[in-house]
Amino acid sequence: MFLKSIILRNFKNFTESEFEFTPKINAFVGRNGVGKTNVLDAVHYLALTKSYLNYSEAQNIHFGEDFFSLEGVFAKNETEEVIFCGVQKDKAKVFKRNAKTYERISDHIGLFPVVMISPYDLDLIKEGSEVRRKFIDNIISQSNKDYLQNLMRYNRVLVQRNSLLKYFFQNNTFDKVSLEIYDDELVSLGTYIYEERNKFIKEFVPIFREYYQVLSQGNETVNITYESQLTYTDFNQLLSENLAKDRSAQYSTQGIHKDDLNLSIMNYPVKKFGSQGQQKSYLIALKLAQLDLISKNLDIMPLLLLDDIFDKLDETRVEQLVQLVNEERFGQIFISDTHPERTENIVKRINAESKIFRL
C-alpha cells in the first residue's frame, strides 16, 4: 500500500496544492513555517480521520476560509482507493471512500494505517498519562475494531456516570440502582480494554527493545511497564470501595481511564534521566515498534511519516535509523526537514527511489 497523490484545499497554510508521490521516499524540505509538517499531517488525516497536531477541526481551516478538504489516492491490493475528507465550520465532518460517505467514520480506521514520528511525541515522555493511553489505544484500534468500539462506548458511559454523580451531589440525592446500571457496563467494557492493553504490552515491549538496541548499538537497556488499578483489584470491587470518594469528587476516580505506562531507561524514568538524544531514540523506537506491530496484525505496511526527527540525534543514531528505514520491510516514507542538504545526503545513503519537494 502507498499514497499516490494528495490534494489540499484551504488546509492550514495551503489554499490549493497537489502532490504526486513515489512509492518509497518523499521528502519535504524548506525553512520553518512553509508547511512541511502540514503536508505530513494531511496524510495522517486521510489515514486516521484526524489531525496529528490539532484537536479542533476549525484550527485546520485556512485563515479567512470556512472549509477545508483533502483528497488522496491510495494504491492498495492492485486497485486505487480515493479518500475524501471535508470539514466546514459548524458542520459535521464528511469522510468518503470511493465517493461513498461513511456511516461511521470510525469504520475507516485501520484501512490505511500510518505511523507518524514527530517532535510533538516528546509529550509521551513529558506529559501526563492521557497521552500515553492514547498512544496504545491508537495502535490497538488500528487493528482491532472491537477494541475501538468498546473504548468509544466506555468513554461515553464514563461521561454519563460522571454526570449522574454530579447530579447526585448538586441535588443532595442518591440512587444506587441507577448508578449500578453504568457500573455494570463500565466493568464489562473496562475489563475487556484492560485485558487487551495488557496483551498488547506483552507483545509490544520486546519489539520496542529490539529497535532501541539497534539505535543505541546495544549500549543502553530500556523497558515499559503497564500500570493499571485493575492489575491489583477487580474493577467491580474498585468501584464499590471508592463509591464515597466518587460521590464526593463528582467523577469516577477509578478505572482504566487512569491507566499509564512507566517508561524507563537503565531502570530509571526516561523523563528525568534520559538525555535529549536518548529520549528521541526512545520515541523513535516506540514508533517503529508501533509500525512493526500494526504491519504484523493487519498484514499491511503502514506509511511512515518522519517529521523533523533528525535534530538532536547524533551521527551514530542517525546512521542506525537510516539503515533501519532502508530495509525491505519498510514501505512508503515521508520526511520533513529544514536542512535540504542533510535530507539529500540521507536519501542518497538510503539509495532508494525518492522524490524531494522544496517548499
pLDDT tens digits, one per residue of 19-44: 999 998 899 999 888 999 999 999 99
Rounded Cα gap, residues 315 and 268, in angstroms: 25
Domain containing residue 2: CATH number: 3.40.50.300
| Three-state SS at 203 | helix
Give the closest residue to 13 by CA, choosing from 4, 303, 24, 31.
31
Which pLDDT value is given to residue 342?
83
Last residue of a domain, one of 260, 278, 299: 299
Domain containing residue 258: CATH number: 1.20.1050.90
Count: domains in the chain = 2
Same-domain check for residues 231 and 182: yes
Same-domain check for residues 335 and 283: no
Same-domain check for residues 266 and 143: yes
Assign 57 a pLDDT band (cuts: 50, 70, 90). Answer: confident
Residue 11's φ and ψ, nearest 5 degrees, are -100, 110
Last residue of a domain, one of 263, 279, 299: 299
What integer is the mean pLDDT of 127-156? 94
Which pLDDT value is given to residue 218?
75
Same-domain check for residues 189 and 155: yes
Which pLDDT value is given to residue 349?
75
Same-domain check for residues 286 and 315: no
Q: Does the pLDDT at position 135 exceed 90?
A: yes
Say which residue, 320 or 110, is predicted with more confidence: 110
Q: Which domain holds residue 64?
A: 1-113+304-359
Rounded Cα gap, residues 23 and 39, in angstroms: 16
Give the closest residue to 317 by CA, choosing from 204, 221, 211, 206.
211
What integer is the mean pLDDT of 216-242? 93
Which pLDDT value is given to residue 139?
92
Same-domain check for residues 151 and 56: no
DSSP one-letter code for 62: P
Same-domain check for residues 90 and 19: yes
Same-domain check for residues 100 and 186: no
What integer is the mean pLDDT of 278-307? 91
Put simply, whether the predicted model's pTM sits higher than 0.95 gets the answer no
Same-domain check for residues 62 and 192: no
Q: Does the pLDDT at position 313 exceed 90?
A: no
Last residue of a domain, one of 258, 281, 299: 299
What integer is the mean pLDDT of 100-112? 92
Question: Among 10-14, 245-249, 355-359, which is the least confidently predicted range?
Answer: 355-359
Q: Does the pLDDT at position 328 exceed 80?
A: no
Same-domain check for residues 260 and 326: no
Q: Does the pLDDT at position 210 exceed 80?
A: yes
Same-domain check for residues 200 and 317: no
Same-domain check for residues 12 and 134: no
Rounded Cα gap, residues 191 and 195, in angstroms: 6
Which pLDDT value is given to residue 310?
77
